[in-house]
Structure 1
């Protein structure tokens, strides 16, 4: 017997800070997910409780909500919403110490973490992750962000392998698919890409500096026992909002329909 799981991931905030229309966008994001058939959604950059409240109000069919409390909002901006019961929640901070990266990046690294939930009727774990961004856009082995991102990926691999239960890892990894860090992560953790390496750029080009190449930086990774039935992209086009059409995020969302053999307890 197998458990079927439709899971999505989206970095919700993104966009330039000016004129983000965040209230409209969060309401529209919530409405899209609530109208669909996805079982569980991993969201990143939900930094304020009133934004979380707007999402919860617009997603009444997702009664199970996981996050770790912090002063201003969910720790690390990570929130997981589910139509399926959840058995437990844990939050882990990722390594954040590096003298090589700029001061602002060190500050942002304080919000890097992993939110782990376990589905209530199975052994399946879902890890929602948001590592530190490489603001240089340089994925070479000599880039100043590499050591910190390597340390964070090692911490992720340790979180995955600390438990033998099947695992799904979702999030905005902030590391391009072309980086060898992904190969190292898969070797350490046993994870594989649900999109089989065929995910297109997940960042809208119009939010990049002129001449900058977009990359696939968002991922859904699964351990070996999990079978992938189908994958798709979400929120690829602009949506009508009260103040005019707009992308709901600077990121594109990802969807994977999975089967976990023998997962039911």
Structure 2
């Protein structure tokens, strides 16, 4: 057998919310990650240098951090990939120029700004020849992923940009993970997996990855986060896959708090030689 990696993805909810403050939550989910044998952790919504510093303080055994900084020193796209193994050649590609062609002018302008602020971060795990891609697509605030929705063409363009980047990474050993903000039961799912070019370890179970109580109308939650492996399963083995932080975590003062409004996905992948 060849290279092996244990990976996790989590949107940390770096924007104001009804959750406990991020430093408090980071102590809890960071402690879990530190005690685990995870190799690579991909975070989304790391929107400031302060959030990045908070995460670094909780993950001392993950000294290698792939990030590209924006003009204000913030992680570009709110993306940061932490690793126990050296990471090389980090590259960030924005979803700039992806925009909807439906909705009001105000809606189209705001979503175009969102696209410019989000993107995909890639990095190679040194010595293993594995590229890890961390991404965050624009949120569908309508909660409607039908083909007639105003977000549909917008998300289609963002997925097109994502896979354009992924096809250019130069290796068959690749993982892409993050908050796609697209429901797994939507018409866009075939584009998420690029018509079968990517294997979805969670396809059979299709677990919800967002806590319904944090939805605006507390409507039904969906799987909107993904961890995908390039190629067909004859090239690799998924030794385990699980959902993390589905239940509240006990804080030091006895309160039950969620690690984030999202749940985390993790998988252990071993590539065949």
Residues 1:10 and 2:24 are matched in the alignment:
no
Tell me what 1:100 maps to.
102
1:18-167 to 2 correspondence within 5 Å? 18=18, 20-70=20-70, 71-95=72-96, 96-101=98-103, 102=107, 103-162=109-168, 163-167=170-174
Question: Which SS does the other structure have where 2:88 is aligned?
Answer: strand
Q: What count of residue pairs does the alignment treat as equivalent?
A: 262
1:216-231 to 2 correspondence within 5 Å? 216-224=223-231, 225-231=235-241
Q: Which moved more, 1:209-218 or 1:101-110?
A: 101-110
Aligned equivalents of 2:206 and 2:77: distance in 1?
25
Query: TM-score, normalised to structure 2's length?
Result: 0.89
Structure 1 residue 87: Cα displacement: 2.1
- Show CA shifts across 1:143-190 (max 9, x none): 111111001111112222222431101001100001121213424570
Query: TM-score, normalised to structure 1's length?
Result: 0.92
5+ residue gaps in structure 1?
A: none
Aligned equivalents of 1:136 and 1:221: distance in 2?
25
Q: Which moved more, 1:47-56 or 1:240-249?
A: 240-249
Aligned equivalents of 2:186 and 2:14: distance in 1?
22
Question: Which SS does the other structure have where 1:180 is aligned?
Answer: coil
CA contact (8 A) 2:181 2:224 kept: yes
Tell me what 2:247 maps to.
237
CA contact (8 A) 1:237 1:247 kept: yes
